[in-house]
Structures are given as C-alpha cells and as structure tokens.
Amino acid sequence: MTDSAASAPTPAPTRADRPVYVIGGGPGGLAVAYALRSRGIRAVVLERSARVGDSWRRHYDRLRLHTTRRLSALPGLPMPRRFGRWPARDDVVRYLEKYAEHHRLEIVTGVEVSRVERSPDGAGWLLHATGGRELTGSAVVVATGHNHTPHVPDWPGRDTYTGEFLHASAYRDAEPFAGRDVLVVGVGNTGAELAVDLVEGGASRVRLSVRTVPHILRRSTAGWAAQYSGVVCRRLPAGLVDRLAPLLAGLSTPDLSRQGLPRPDSRLSVRAAAGAVPVVDAGLIDAVRRGAVEVVAAVEGFEDGKVVLADGERIAPDAVVAATGYTRDLHGLVGHLGVLDAHGKPLAQGARCPRDTPGLYFTGFTTPLSGTLRELALDAQRIARAISRSDARPSRLPV
C-alpha cells in the first residue's frame, strides 16, 4: 500500500450505505421490514422492548381478533389454520415471532428512538436512540402503533380519588374482580369486551359508562364476517355507507334503547374518519339485553370517593376500569418536523410522505373498517414500493 493510499480520506457514507430504519417491532414494522427485504433493500427494525410484538403480549387474556385469520395475515406468511377463524392473542404473538424468524428479519431489541431529524448531510435521517446511539438511515418508517401510550381523561377529582382505579392496559383477567362491583368507562371494543369478561368472571355488578353511543355490529352474521362489509365500505362513497349502515345494523343487532344503548344518530363514515370504529359484538349485546351489564351515563368526575356521572348520579363501585384509549405519543419523536396534525396524527400515511419530509413514512396510525392488520399488510407493500422507487437508493442486501 502506498503512503498516498494510506492517507487518503475515507469517503463519506452515501445513501446507498444506509439502511431503512423501521421504528417498532409490531405487525406494522415487521410487515414493512419483510416487504423491503423482498425487494432487496436492507431494513433494520428498532424495537424498544426485549421482544417483537410486545404490545400484543400486554393485551387482556380473552382478546381475539375481530378480523378473520385469512384477512389478518401479513405479507409472505399465512396464519396457520389451527388458529381458527378468529385468532387469539397468544396465537397472534406466536405468529409475529414466527414471522420475524421465517423471514430472517434484522431486528435490534432494547433500543428506543427518542427523536428523528434530518441528517447533517441532508442525505437521510438521523435517529437519536437509547445509549447515546446516533443512527443514520436513508429512510425511516415510523410504526410505533396506534395504541402506544394509555390515555386517561383529566377528570375533576381524579387525583384525589382513593378507590381502585386502573387503565384497561393494566387489565389481564376478571379474577381480581370476582364478587366486586366494577365500573367500566368507555364503550369501544376494549370496554365492551372487558365488561363481558367481568360478567363471565364473576363480578357481582358490572356497569358500562357510555358517552357516545357506538355503532354495534355482530362479528359474523350467517357466516358473513363484519370485516367483509368493512372491506366493501372502503370502496364505496361515504354517503352510501351511511345509508347502508342502519339497514345492516337492523338486520343483525337488536334495538337496545330500553337498556340505554339506542341506535346511534352519528354517521358511520364520520365516526370512522375520527378513528372510532364500530363495536364488534363479542357478547355485549346479550349481556346488556339480559341486564348483566348495566349501561350508565358518561363519567364527569370524582368527588368524595364517588364517581359523578353526567346525569347527576353518584355511584361508588369497588373498582373503576378506564377503557379510554391511547395516544400515539409522536410529538417528541417527530413533532418538531411539522408532520402531525392538531390531534398528533401523522399528516400523511402509507406510501405518501408528509410535505417537505421525503423518506419519512408512517404506518399503523388508523383504525380502518376493513381491519388494521389487513391495512398494515397493504401499507407495507406500498411503502416498500415507494422507497424502492425513490431517489434515496437505500442500502441493498448482499446478493
């Protein structure tokens, strides 16, 4: 080696030397990683926990998908037939583990990304992560999930309430609540299922606090899964969907007005656009109809050890379970880039990048009528196609 060669400066890394970083090792992140790998593009998944699919492991025990096995598989690997039509939580976890292993995905666990910004050379993205890591990628896909951080409303008196209170994220099964009076707050899919689980688990009384009456659908009617209707609705004009929704509900679900759950007066398309998907019945209809689950008014606050409801009633349950949803919690990660709306939701998702941030993608921050896992699978292919066609020229896998 000559002296001139030895002293030659090391070339600056180019976009072609940099992988695509995928933030989040849930189904969305894994699907994107596979879709990129199948196109010969190196993708590195960064997962803050010690295992893939960690958020699924923390869900309550009785959870089953409301979407069918066939329409819930990620690209490149079908779900096993033994999972049945509606896979259970543990089946989904096993599937995600197998998915990562089967496709030999490059996953780094125990690494949490705190901030994403433009790389100093303008040729990619710089990720600040735990342990002082600074990682530079040609592109970034944010797949940290819709259910990221538990949300509890700022109810008056909540801080001084001395009764048992927990968010639904901490609920596992009904055993600790057997023989007790429990109030479940929120009638999304989680709240509806927890109320049924508590009844079946032996709670002495179960009340369900409802602020906005939801659209309720049977999971399956005469073999026709509700998800199939959701897929069809994705292709129909919103006005037509809103006209069809009451007709379909009338055919599959009874009128529960006397029990406190009247037919909703809100339009399905508007509710869906706001992220409020219908409640897919997993026993709630029957539980409400026979009085095992009592519907009460919305929670307005806490006072003198009691829960104050919107109709003025004050109740004193033994425990309160807040099924009040989650926040995306993206502000610290990308809020400074101007890519979020007023509600913290990405301005663009899937194959489209937010304005002025080419190479920055988001997936999994909606709750579509057609099923989240199905849309994550489709999004993954679209994102991989967009990245492969972009000017970023990300690092290619060795042949």
pLDDT in tens, 171-222: 999 999 999 999 999 999 999 999 999 999 999 999 999 999 999 999 998 8
Q: Which two structure tokens, joined as six digits, stand for 57?
A: 């492991």
Q: List where CATH 3.50.50.60 sits in the chain.
A: 13-148+328-389, 151-325
pLDDT of residue 398: 63
Confidence band, pLDDT 50/70/90 cuts, at residue 272? confident
DSSP state at residue 204: S
pLDDT of residue 391: 57
Decide yes or no: CATH 3.50.50.60 for domain 151-325.
yes
CB 139 within 8 A of CB 363: no
Q: What's the chain's length in residues? A: 399
Q: Which two structure tokens, joined as six digits, stand for 120?
A: 């100093």
Cα–Cα dist 89/95, whole Å: 10
CB 223 within 8 A of CB 252: no
Among the ranges given (40-49, 106-115, 272-281, 324-333), the one the predictor scored with the smallest mean pLDDT = 272-281
pLDDT of residue 390: 84
Helix (H) or strand (E) holding 116: strand 113-118
**pTM for the full predicted model:** 0.91
Confidence band, pLDDT 50/70/90 cuts, at residue 1? very low
Which residues are within 8 A (CB) of 147 and not within 5 positions of it... i.e. 6 or more apart? 55, 325, 326
pLDDT of residue 2: 39
Decide yes or no: CATH 3.50.50.60 for domain 13-148+328-389.
yes
pLDDT at 8 over 50: no
pLDDT of residue 146: 78
Show the beta-strand stretches assigned E in 122-192: 125-129, 133-137, 139-142, 149-150, 164-167, 181-185
User: Stretch 50-70: mean pLDDT, rounded?
Assistant: 95
pLDDT of residue 275: 77
pLDDT of residue 177: 98
How many Cα neighbours within 13 Å face the side chain of 376?
A: 29
pLDDT at 394 over 90: no
The residue type at 144: T
Cα–Cα dist 107/22, whole Å: 9
pLDDT at 3 over 60: no
